[in-house]
Amino acid sequence: MSGLMQRDRVYEFLVPKVVDDLDLSHGTVLYMEDVSVSFDGFKAINELNFYVEAGELRCVIGPNGAGKTTMMDIITGKTRPDQGAVWFGQRMNLLRMSEPEIAQAGIGRKFQKPTVFEYHSVFENLEMSMNGPKGVWPTLVARLNVEQKERIDQVAETIGLTEHMNRSAGLLSHGQKQWLEIGMLLMQNPLMLLVDEPAAGMTHQEMDRTVELLTGLAGQHSVVVVEHDMDFVRALNSRVTVLHQGTVLAEGNMDQVQNDPKVIEVYLGE
């Protein structure tokens, strides 16, 4: 009932569920408005507003418990917020879609811990991740055509794993697994990539490669990167959003954000 009393919102039952085409006419890919979620009374996300432009590379930073991962969970449909609206483009209401539907719609997520299918080869990992019909029957009778093979080769080249195509993913190094996971996301041809701590546990060389990879992807895809490593964020040279206690504390480029008194207080003050 409380929903009906809030006159500034569209009534729940009037909100359309899924529309096939994504309307990006306003240039914004993702809208999160007034989103709150609490776990056992703890407000993980608190009236958060967050927007992502088409083709933008965005970094999200913030201390532990700021709600970064929860925010990702809400976008991908893993967690349902208590209130608020989350829209993908102008027409897709993410709150009404299941996890696979959201993935199909074009939001790909890379997890903190690299989870690739260790038993399968790099090629098979990419093959399975390819966008297209994923029902039981189409999957059973699926055959790779030349175009699709080319696409797999192309993505493998982007992520620098061409030479490792036929190795089991379980035998790759940590950094290579991270890239493979990004490659798996790319196979889905996503409009937006959510990348959770890509640099964790990487060597410096691997980090440089990752920066190259991510900046290369922006433009064709919107990329949202959650990261702790400040050098890495600086190297990405993008717009930065600082989260704190579930809300946006500051937004701007890295220099602006670092000189923001509120940010300094949160990071250094306590």
Partner 1 sequence: MILRILKNDIGGKVFLLVLLTTLIAVPVLNQLPAEHTFHISIYTVTLLGKYLTYALLAVAVDLVWGYLGILSLGHAAFFALGGYAMGMYLMRQIGERGVYGHPELPDFMVFLDWQELPWFWSGFDNFGFAMLMVLVVPGLLAFVFGWFAFRSRVTGVYLSIITQALTYALMLAFFRNEMGFGGNNGLTDFKDILGFSLQADSTRLALFVASGVALALGYLSCRALVKSRLGKVAVAIRDAEDRTRFIGYKVEYVKLAIFTFSAMLAGLAGALYVPQVCIINPGEFQPLNSIEVVVWVAMGGRATLYGAVIGALGVNYAKTWFTAAFPEIWLFALGGLFVVVTLLMPRGIAGLFSRKKGGES
Residues that bind partner 1 (CB under 8 A): 76, 99-100, 103-104, 109, 111, 115-120, 124, 127-129, 131, 134-136, 139-142, 168, 184, 188
Least Å distance, CB 165 to partner 1, is 15
**Between residues 72 and 199, which has the closer beta carbon with respect to partner 1?**
72
Tell me how far, at minimum, the Cβ of 190 lies from partner 1, in Å.
10
Across-strand partners of 59? 225, 240
Q: How far is the CB of 164 from partner 1 (least distance, A)?
A: 15
Q: Judged by CB, which is closer to partner 1: 75, or 257?
A: 75
56/127 with CB nearer partner 1: 127
Q: Which is nearer to partner 1, 47 or 124 (CB)?
A: 124
Over the chain, what HEC string results?
A: CHHHHCCCCCCHHHCCCCCCCCCCCCCEEEEEEEEEEEECCEEEEEEEEEEEECCCEEEEECCCCCCHHHHHHHHHCCCCCCEEEEEECCCEEHHHCCHHHHHHHCEEEECCCCCCCCCCEHHHHHHHHCCCCCCHHHHHCCCCCHHHHHHHHHHHHHCCCHHHCCCEHHHCCHHHHHHHHHHHHHHCCCCEEEEECCCCCCCHHHHHHHHHHHHHHECCEEEEEECCCHHHHHHHCCEEEEEECCEEEEEEEHHHHHHCHHHHHHHHHC
Contacts of 188 (CB under 8 A, 6+ apart): 103, 106, 108, 129, 130, 131
Residue 203 CB, shortest distance to partner 1, in Å, is 25
Q: 140 vs 268, which CB is nearer to partner 1?
A: 140
Of 126 and 233, the one with the shorter C-beta distance to partner 1 is: 126
Q: d(Cα 137, Cα 148) in Å, to the nearest integer?
A: 19
Q: How far is the CB of 129 from partner 1 (least distance, A)?
A: 5
For the bound state, the minimum distance from the C-beta of residue 149 to partner 1, rounded and expressed in Å, comes to 13
- Considering beta carbons, is residue 118 or 231 the nearer one to partner 1? 118
**Rounded least distance, CB 77 to partner 1, Å:** 10
